[in-house]
A and B are shown apart, each in its own frame.
Chain A
Amino acid sequence: MVYVKWVFWGLFWLIVVGFLHYSLPQRDIVRIVNTYEERQDVTGWTKMFWAASDQSQERLQSWDVQFIQAIAPDGDPMVYRNEDTGWGWPPYFKFDTANLYTDASDSTSTKDAPEWYAVTHYGWRNEFLSIFPNAVGIKRVAGPDVTLIPWFNIIVLTILAAFAWGIWARWRRFRKNKIDPKVDEWTDGWE
């Protein structure tokens, strides 16, 4: 029985951490090399990794998606998609896809004269599933070694932890005071 409990809590935390890791913003420092647009087939369960931000799009199986190609300081390639999240999940309320596409196109640089940009994004890149993180914003930075402190994530995670702890503590007290005595009452003399 103890293994069932471990598996349950293991899965629970995996889902919680995975969800937060997917949804919270991260910043990569990259050199932007190109932007392109390509028709994507968006079917099956991986559809949730694409932003179907309005109702007509939700019914579609394929649509044009903008991409931003970038190179990390260590030479690794990184490809971001560029899609509106609209009023949907995750709540970035991004409506400026076309503007971002323009900015990104204007920010390309070559290997010889690199310009470095911090790309704010959420989501995951996975080659097997063909999924891409969604770029939310770009900002010029001084160089590839700039340290960016994720203040937003620090604040969000702190607030989230405080809420979770507050509710958990109250639930535990409620269970101790109200539920446990009842259960004791009902199961009295069962042994």
Chain B
Amino acid sequence: MVAFLRLVVFGFLILTVIYVIVLVWSRATQRRKLAKDWTENGQPGDKETYIETGMAQYEQSLRRKLILLIYVVPVVVVGTIIYVTNFM
């Protein structure tokens, strides 16, 4: 039981670190892309407003939500391994 808790706690911590890194990286990438779009589209209106609107859309997007797979995939993989190792 202690081993299980250790796996859950450390696993959660490690995944959280990865999640935060990927989230920050993904936001920075999106922001850079929006800045580039703004220049290429003939600089429509204020740059800050353009980027902030784009970022607000991004926060609602599927792409942003897919980052949650960082938590989901390992749990599914562990479940599958447990099934295959012990019950197949």
Q: Which residues of A approach B to under 8 Å, CB–CB?
A: 53-55, 86-88, 91-96, 99, 136-137
Interface Cβ pair total, 8 Å cutoff: 33
The verdict on B78 contacting chain A, using a C-beta distance below 8 Å, is yes
Q: A136-B85, A137-B85 are known contacts. Are A93 and B78 too (CB-CB below 8 A)?
A: yes
The verdict on B24 contacting chain A, using a C-beta distance below 8 Å, is no
Contact of A53 among B3, B78, B86, B88 (CB under 8 A): B3
Contact size class for B?
Answer: 10 to 19
Contact of A95 among B2, B78, B86, B88 (CB under 8 A): B86
Q: Which residues of B approach A to under 8 Å, CB–CB?
A: 2-4, 6-7, 78, 81-82, 85-88
The prevalent SS among residues of B at the interface is: helix
Most buried by A among B2, B85, B87: B85
Complex-state Cα separation, A53 to B4, whole angstroms: 10
Most buried by B among A53, A55, A91, A137: A91
Complex-state Cα separation, A53 to B85, whole angstroms: 16
Contact of B3 among A88, A92, A136 (CB under 8 A): A88
Q: Is the beta-carbon distance between A91 and B2 smaller than 8 angstroms?
A: no
Closest B-chain residue to A55, C-beta based? B2
Q: Inside 8 A of B82's CB, which chain A residues have their CB?
A: 93, 95
Interface pairs (29), CB distance under 8 Å = A53-B3, A54-B2, A54-B3, A55-B2, A55-B3, A86-B3, A87-B3, A87-B4, A87-B6, A87-B7, A88-B3, A88-B7, A91-B78, A91-B81, A92-B81, A92-B85, A93-B78, A93-B81, A93-B82, A93-B85, A93-B86, A94-B85, A95-B82, A95-B85, A95-B86, A96-B85, A96-B87, A136-B85, A137-B85
